[in-house]
């Protein structure tokens, strides 16, 4: 891919050669040809961005990754979407992947206004996409935590995109987030904003692991493919814990999305594709997406596609039927997305 071998310069951004990127990011589990550049947010934060272009693209898919992982893991999906005629961009959220100033910041959005800043980073990358692909359809896609960021962003910016894809998402009633907020407040008071809580870990990732019978690792809940699980465990940019402040930011963002003025009010004319597995403990084995579907069918039934994969675990894009899922995404894009 020629573009990724060239110097990339934007007025307010860092210019990096591929050689410089290799020096800066070598040994961190990311293919350097996938990392095109860094964007700088308004507060100076450096956003690591991956770019997989394709000639004569139909449009662009912008991927928001999940918690404790990074955008470089979506290279295989990017290849499939490139073959279907779509360019792909992904970026690492604050505290994740290569968007980390130092290791003390890993798993931490920011000390203040973290959710707003993470959303602002999405806008920064979207702004870059609009300059590189003017007038072309743009689709925002999120996985897991990335779906929560995508939904929150779309509440205010739906007019700027032409489609929304949610992979392995979840949603609970508002009382659940109020309950979690109380737990998080106590743990934040006890451990500090940058503290990491064994209790929160036991209620989330450890709980997900225990719900997988006959598991070989604590990450079998991610995929039925043992080799993909091994890759996740071996990746130094995956599997880290997150700070109390990040969890508080996340719950606040989810609470806003779950409200009647949240999810149900996303532009009804925005094509929306949700897919999930019914063996994903993060979504209570599909109950979360089913709850979302009830809300969406009631308030915005048009331009809505929802697909359940029987037996699918959390990382469907890395599960045993990943090629089928990548093809389904390509088909949906080509059937439903035009410039609005």
Helix (H, G, I), strand (E, B) or coil at 88: strand
Task: Please give the pLDDT value at position 256.
Answer: 85
Task: Please give the pLDDT value at position 262.
Answer: 78
Residue 66 near residue 143 (C-beta atoms within 8 A): yes
Q: What pLDDT, in 10s, does the model give residues 33-72?
A: 556 789 999 999 999 999 999 999 999 999 999 999 999 9
Q: What pLDDT, in 10s, does the model give residues 239-273?
A: 999 999 999 999 999 988 886 667 888 899 999 99
What CA–CA distance (Å, rounded) separates 83 from 81? 5
CA-to-CA dists, residue 64 to 118, 155, 186, 280, angstroms: 11, 16, 30, 19
Q: What is the SS3 string spanning 62-87? A: EEECCCCCCHHHHHHHHHHHHHCCEE
Domains and CATH numbers, the chain: 2-336 (3.40.50.1820)
Q: Residues 325-335: what's their mean pLDDT?
A: 98
pTM: 0.91
Q: What pLDDT, in 10s, does the model give residues 182-237?
A: 999 999 999 999 999 999 999 999 999 999 999 999 999 999 999 999 999 999 99
Helix (H, G, I), strand (E, B) or coil at 40: strand
Six-digit token string for 154: 């779309």
Q: What pLDDT, in 10s, does the model give residues 141-191?
A: 999 999 999 999 999 999 999 999 999 999 998 899 999 999 999 999 999
Q: What is the SS3 string spanning 264-321? A: HHCCCCCCEEEEEECCCHHHCCCHHHHHHHHHHHHHCCCCEEEEEECCCCCCHHHCCC
Tally Cβ neighbours within 10 Å of residue 19.
Answer: 10
Q: Is the dihedral of CA 213, 219, 220, 222 positive or negative?
A: positive
Q: Is the pLDDT of residue 2 over 50?
A: no
Beta strands at 46-52 and 35-40: parallel, antiparallel or unpaired:
antiparallel
Q: Is the pLDDT of residue 12 over 60?
A: no
Query: 319 phi and psi, to 5 degrees?
Result: -90, 180
Q: Residues 282-310: what's their mean pLDDT?
A: 94
pLDDT tier for residue 133 given thresholds of 50, 70 and 90: very high
Task: Please give the pLDDT value at position 34.
Answer: 56
Q: What share of the chain is helix, strand, coil (3-state, %, to 5)?
A: 45, 15, 40
Q: Residues 328-332: what's their mean pLDDT?
A: 98
Q: Is the pLDDT of residue 10 over 60?
A: no
């Amino acid at each position: 891919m020629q573009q990724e071998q060239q110097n990339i310069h934007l007025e307010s951004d860092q210019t990096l050669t591929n050689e410089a990127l290799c020096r800066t990011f070598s040994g961190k589990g990311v293919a350097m040809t996938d990392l095109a550049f860094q964007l700088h947010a308004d507060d100076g934060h450096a956003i690591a961005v991956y770019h997989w272009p394709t000639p004569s693209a139909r449009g662009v898919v912008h991927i928001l990754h999940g918690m404790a992982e990074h955008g470089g893991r979506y290279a295989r999906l990017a290849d499939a979407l490139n073959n279907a005629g779509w360019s792909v961009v992904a970026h690492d959220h604050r505290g994740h992947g290569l968007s980390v100033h130092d290791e003390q910041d890993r798993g931490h959005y920011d000390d203040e206004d973290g959710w707003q800043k993470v959303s602002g980073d999405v806008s920064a990358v979207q702004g870059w996409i609009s300059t590189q692909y003017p007038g072309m359809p743009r689709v925002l896609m999120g996985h897991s935590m990335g779906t929560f960021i995508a939904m929150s962003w779309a509440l205010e910016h739906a007019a700027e995109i032409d489609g929304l894809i949610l992979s392995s998402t979840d949603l609970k009633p508002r009382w659940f987030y109020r309950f979690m907020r109380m737990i998080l407040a106590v743990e934040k008071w006890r451990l500090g904003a940058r503290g990491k809580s064994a209790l929160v870990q036991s209620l989330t990732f450890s709980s997900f692991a225990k719900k997988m019978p006959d598991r070989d690792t604590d990450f079998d809940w991610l995929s039925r493919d043992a080799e993909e699980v091994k890759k996740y465990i071996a990746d130094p940019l995956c599997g880290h814990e997150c700070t109390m402040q990040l969890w508080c930011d996340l719950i606040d963002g989810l609470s806003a999305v779950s409200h009647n003025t949240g999810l149900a009010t996303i532009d009804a004319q925005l094509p929306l594709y949700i897919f999930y597995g019914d063996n994903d403990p993060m979504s209570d084995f599909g109950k979360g997406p089913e709850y979302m579907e009830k809300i969406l069918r009631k308030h915005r039934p048009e331009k809505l596609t929802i697909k359940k994969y029987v037996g699918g675990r959390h990382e469907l894009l890395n599960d045993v039927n990943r090629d089928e899922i990548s093809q389904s995404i390509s088909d949906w894009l080509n059937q439903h997305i035009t410039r609005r």
